[in-house]
Amino acid sequence: AQKVTQAQTEISVVEKEDVTLDCVYETRDTTYYLFWYKQPPSGELVFLIRRNSFDEQNEISGRYSWNFQKSTSSFNFTITASQVVDSAVYFCALSEAGGANSKLTFGKGITLSVRP
Amino acid sequence: EPEVTQTPSHQVTQMGQEVILRCVPISNHLYFYWYRQILGQKVEFLVSFYNNEISEKSEIFDDQFSVERPDGSNFTLKIRSTKLEDSAMYFCASKGGSGGAGTQYFGPGTRLTVL
C-alpha cells in the first residue's frame, strides 16, 4: 500500500523568508511518480511538479525547488523568498504506476501562511 | 491552455436525493478520475475510468456511486441517494500521456452540500 506523510500541518512565515515543506512517502513499487499540488483559498488543485522515481535530479523553477531523495523516501519542496500569494495548502501525492490504475494518494496537506 | 471543467460549482441537495456531478475532461485525455475532499481534510481517490469502464475504485465508492461517460466529452459522477456525509468537494481529473504515465489535471471542483 502506498502512503504519503506530511508531518507539518501549518507553517507561518514572513514574506521573503524561505520555507521548506516536507514529504515522506512509502511504496513497494520500484517505479512510481511523485507530485506536488497547490490548493489556494479559491479551492482548486493546481499541479506544480511531477517527478519519476528513476530521476533523482533536483529541480528548480523560479522561486520553487524540489529535493528528491530515494534513500530517505522524501520529496521536499522549498519556496525561496516567499510571497503572500504563496499562501495556500500544499499537497504531496504519490502514484504507484502509469496507466489507468494510477490513482493519486495524497498527504494531509500543509497550510502555508505568508504574512506581509 | 486546455483545462478540466466541472459543473455545477456548488450543489445543495436534500438527504436521499440523487445528484449528478458533471465534468468535461481535457479533450485528448483518455484516463478520468473522481476524488473528494471533505472540508479541511485530504483529497481522497474515489474511482478511475478508462476505455469506458471502471479501472479501480476505492472503498468509499460503494453502490450509491456510479460513473458514466455518456458522450465523447462529458464524464459524470452520480450519487444515487445522498447522505449527510457525502458533503464534500468533488474533483474530477483527467490524464493523457503515453501508456498513461502522465499528470492528472484537476477541475475546479463541485462543492456538494447535503442537508
Q: Does A3 touch chain B if contact means CB atoms closer than 8 Å?
A: no
In the three-class reduction of DSSP (H, G, I as helix; E, B as strand; rest coil), residue B100 is classed as helix
pLDDT in tens, B72-94: 789 999 999 999 999 999 999 99
Mutation target for B interface from A6, A23, A42, A45: give the one with most B CBs within 10 A. Answer: A45
Residues of chain A with pLDDT > 70, as a percent, come to 97
Over residues B30-45, mean pLDDT = 94
Range list of β-strands (E), B29-106: 31-37, 43-50, 53-57, 65-68, 75-79, 88-95, 105-106
Residue type, A42: S
Question: With contacts defined as CB-CB under 8 Å, which chain B residues touch A93?
Answer: 43
Q: How far, in Å, CA of B61 to CA of A108, rounded?
A: 20
- Mean pLDDT value of segment A7-11: 97
A104–B31 CB contact, under 8 Å: no
A99 pLDDT higher than 80: no
Residue matched to cell numbers 459524470: B76
Tell me the mean pLDDT in the region B57-71.
94
Q: What is the pLDDT of residue A57?
A: 80
Identify all chain A residues contacting B104, using CB atoms and an 8 Å cutoff: 47, 95, 102, 104
* Interface contact flag, A100 B42, Cβ < 8 Å: no
Q: Does A107 touch chain B (CB under 8 A)?
A: yes
pLDDT over 60 at A25, yes or no? yes
pLDDT value at B100 more than 60: no
A70 touches chain B (CB under 8 A): no
The C-alpha cell of B61 is what?
A: 465508492
Q: If you average pLDDT over every residue of chain A, what do you get? A: 93
Give the one of B33, B42, B108 whose C-beta lies nearest to A109's C-beta. Answer: B42
pLDDT at res. B97: 64
- In this prediction, residue A58 carries a pLDDT of 82
How high is the mean pLDDT of chain B? 92
Condensed to tens digits (0 to 9), the pLDDT of residues A100-112 reads 678 999 999 999 9
Rounded to whole angstroms, the maximal C-alpha distance in chain A is 43
Chain segment A50-93, per-residue pLDDT in tens: 898 888 888 888 999 999 999 999 999 999 999 999 999 999 99
Task: Say yes or no: B57 contacts chain A, CB-CB below 8 A.
Answer: no
- Looking only at the bridges linking them, the beta strands covering B110-114 and B10-13 are parallel
CB-CB neighbours of A104 under 10 Å: 26
Q: What is the pLDDT of residue B73?
A: 86
B2-35 residue pLDDT tens: 799 999 999 999 999 999 999 999 988 989 999 9
